Chain A
Amino acid sequence: EPEVTQTPSHQVTQMGQEVILRCVPISNHLYFYWYRQILGQKVEFLVSFYNNEISEKSEIFDDQFSVERPDGSNFTLKIRSTKLEDSAMYFCASSSLGGGHEQYFGPGTRLTVT
């Protein structure tokens, strides 16, 4: 069964550093997403991406964040200058063009900012 993969599984970084989280969506999916989950809180939407551009973003997704599809398989989330409050689990998800908009999630990257 095809699945979304993410690397690394855990990233530790110092405040102010840049991090890039990587995702490989399901191969025939055309919509890609990033969500985050702060420990003990609910999953929150960050951004969706379709046809090589951002289609939606939340208030959380400010200028510190960017997304990119650098090649035909990877989808990345860059956090430019990390803050302590960016510590969270970051999930990538993907969905197909049609259907009921079901989104399939990767295993996540745990980001710890010290």
Chain B
Amino acid sequence: RKEVEQDPGPFNVPEGATVAFNCTYSNSASQSFFWYRQDCRKEPKLLMSVYSSGNEDGRFTAQLNRASQYISLLIRDSKLSDSATYLCVVNPATGRRALTFGSGTRLQVQP
């Protein structure tokens, strides 16, 4: 089983749509969880951390289910500028800082 698994997509959605991405992770001891976005040939940019209680930042909502080892990202009212690859990222263990990246889910928002 991959350490961090994501549906590669692509997800093609119209502007204004709501889209959800899911991610599963294999290490139950994982401590910290993040969503990053990556534009083509650019660096990963931190979108948001994911907390156990769930958190929201504008149009973006992240959820964590530790029992199922599952993380989600919901994007409401999609914009053309949201087109990117969304990376699910996990810090796998206490005392360690190495991040483990998923392969990413590609989103294409169409006019």
Contacts and interface: CB of A to CB of B under 8 A. Distances in A.
Interface of A: 31, 33, 35, 41-45, 48, 55-56, 58, 89, 91, 95, 100-108, 110
A44 B101 contact: yes
Contacts of B46: 102-104
Nearest to B43: A105
B101 A42 contact: yes
Given A48-B98, A95-B97, A101 B42 contact: no
Interface string B78-111: 0000000001000100001111111110000000
Nearest to B32: A101
B66 interface: no
Contacts, number: 53
B97 A31 contact: yes
5 contacts: A41-B103, A55-B97, A89-B41, A102-B46, A108-B42
A103 B42 contact: no
Contacts of B98: 33, 45, 48, 56, 58
A91 B45 CA distance: 11
A110 to B, nearest CB: 8
A66 to B, nearest CB: 18
B44 A45 contact: no
Interface string B20-49: 000000000001101000100111111001
